[in-house]
Amino acid sequence: MLTRKYSHSIFVMGMILLLGMSAGISSPTLAFAEIVTDKSVYSKGEFIKISGTVNSQDAATVNLINIQITDLNNNHEIKNEDTPLGNDNNFSVSYDSSTWIIGEYEVTIRYNDFEDTSTFEISGSTSSNDDNSNNDNTVNDNDNQQLESSSTNLPNTVPIPPVGLESNVVSSTQIDLSWDAPDDNDIISGYKIEVRMNTDPDYSVVVEDTNNTDTTYSDTDLNPNTIYAYRVFAINFIGESESSRSVTVKTLGSTDVSNNNDEDTEIPTDVVAKVISSTSVELSWTPPTQTFDQTIQSYTIKQELASNIYDEIASVAGSATEYTISNLNTDKKYVFVILANYALGSSDISEKATVTLSSSSDSDNDSSTVTPDDVPDKPTDLTSVVVSSTQIDLSWVAPDDNNNDSNNDAITGYKIEARTISSSSYDVIVSDTKNTSVKYSHTNLDADTDYIYRVSAINPEGTSDPSSEIRVKTLSSSDSSINASQQNASQDALLIDNVKKIL
């Protein structure tokens, strides 16, 4: 109900009414002195229009009126602006209430030395229609009880990002996501989910707003054998949070799906050691099919030094299925095993792959006899894993040498470049790795910062074109602390499990 604070002679017409989502919805203009709004409680997201007319008697002295809107829940002024009168002495302004919190508001309209006020409320209802106008300016007891209940834990800022985003590869076309709600889950209204393919620099929206508090989602109709990166935002009545930490995952290949009915494997299988020169071996393997709803973070490659005694010689990204070991000794037998690493624990070691190198080895693929005639093709499938607020791990796939292209067979190293999104030029992180490893850890980074990477392959003829760019953001300092605590807790749990097995 509008109340007059001062007695004055200027007669003002005004109203607070709903501009519905459909055009043409209106309410009759009412005088300030006896204003009766069409309803006293508005649904969140409705447009609120404030309009009125100044009595022509004083039109010459009134050029502007001031409109102030105050959130009475925390006595916070959200609008304070002047609006001019039209030629017919009318004024009209509209406000979108979708970002305003649930509760009571006061409108104050001032002109010259006079002012009038009115109050209205915003409820949590999304209904935009009110079939029965509440012209007696009253709200029933049920409305009051709902309003009081909904305003108990009202947010006054956007939520913090979701945490613990994980993925599970279901098939060649489906990936299941899960995450943990932020601490203020009691006021979360939904989640926004975004995805990008590894070849795309920007994310696209999968779901604008889930409109529920479920912390799982299944993304379907995906491409087989394709790398995707996901991130999730929390939403409340104020707005949406910053994005969660991203997770990168690869769908199964079309041929992998046909094996789903076979017995699951819990270790890397089909481990093959292929001699490619008198001093080099190429290892290849098939990922385990049973990952216990976890994503493979990396693979560890070990060499057997004595019976069941192993030495780690390399660690490669979880998307890799092959690795080249160089600088080996001739006329010597080597035994290798591989294990998969997850966020929580590791698999058992694979079956052994044995190979003997000989100085008399005569192989068509002997890299010592390869002479490239041009620079190599560019690397593909550049991916990243955010380790902390200061570290990002990169991995990529070497140029394809299955077509007997000597340019790709003779790769000797990789060039790695990076830049921040605020910079248009790249900085060279490593000019030449001088090895065929397809992974790199970039450290000493700034927290909560977006970086863009690209990688080029190198052979004796020169450097390839750069790979597709990948954009990735380091954790904030607080997220990094949480991540470290979780990792420590996981390591403690694994240690306890190992002790139990020994006992």
The reply to whether 163-256 shares the fold of 3-150 is: yes
Q: How far is CA 366 from CA 196, 370, 424, 458, in A?
A: 39, 7, 41, 18
pLDDT at 451: 93
Extents of the domains making up the chain: 3-150, 163-256, 265-368, 370-474
Q: How far is CA 216 from CA 15, 181, 239, in A?
A: 45, 10, 20
| Closest-CA residue to 332 (of 363, 300, 310, 354) | 354
pLDDT at 19: 35
At the fourth CATH level, which superfamily is domain 265-368? Immunoglobulins (2.60.40.10)
**Per-residue tokens: 62:** 């009134």
Architecture per CATH, 370-474: Sandwich (2.60)
Which CATH number does 3-150 carry?
Answer: 2.60.40.1930
pLDDT at 168: 87
The CATH class of 163-256 is mainly beta
Q: Using a CB cutoff of 8 Å and minimum separation of 24, what contacts does 202-210 make?
A: 202/471, 203/229, 203/231, 206/230, 209/235
Distance of alpha carbon 146 from alpha carbon 236, whole angstroms: 18
Q: How far is CA 263 from CA 170, 284, 445, in A?
A: 15, 21, 43
Name the β-bridge partners of 180: 163
Write down how long the chain is.
Answer: 503
Per-residue model confidence as pLDDT tens for the chain (503 residues): 333 333 333 333 333 333 333 333 333 333 333 334 456 777 777 777 777 766 645 444 566 777 888 888 777 777 887 777 666 666 677 777 777 778 888 888 777 667 777 888 887 654 434 434 344 444 344 444 443 444 445 566 788 888 888 888 888 889 999 998 887 556 788 999 999 876 666 789 999 999 888 999 999 888 888 888 888 999 887 888 888 877 777 888 765 544 444 567 889 988 887 777 778 888 888 899 888 889 999 999 999 988 888 999 999 999 888 898 988 888 788 889 999 999 888 999 998 887 777 654 444 333 333 457 678 889 999 999 998 889 999 999 998 865 556 677 778 889 999 999 888 889 999 998 888 889 999 999 999 899 999 999 998 788 999 999 999 999 987 765 555 555 555 555 555 565 455 45
